[in-house]
Structure 1
Amino acid sequence: MTKTATNTARHLMKSDFFWRFVGGFAIGAVGVVALQPASAEHHDAAVRSAPAPAQTAR
């Protein structure tokens, strides 16, 4: 890495924008993990209890 690239990377890591961006991904990941099992379980239960659709003759 060149000295300019190193300084640019160091400046990016110290920037407020970068940490807010990373924090948004972290909050989103926690939300996906927290909500996914509940919605998947609910969806499976609804599918199992629903009656099968009637087949039509063609």
Structure 2
Amino acid sequence: MPPGQTRTEADTWINWAAARVEHLAPLNTPPLLPDNPEPRADDLRPFLEHWSPYGR
């Protein structure tokens, strides 16, 4: 394409499209893992049957 306004406009659109694709690509950044919650004694309750998670 010869230099001029048409080429400048085309380059602007190409640069915009390339930046947009880079922004939308899901693998550009690694997925984030959720934070591990602090374990609580009550979290064990479903697995202890008749036992208390507090040792009583």
TM-score, scaled to structure 1: 0.41
Greater helix share, structure number: 1
Q: Which has the higher relative contact order, 1 or 2, with Cα contacts under 8 A spaced 6 or more apart?
A: 2
Greater Rg over alpha carbons, structure? 2
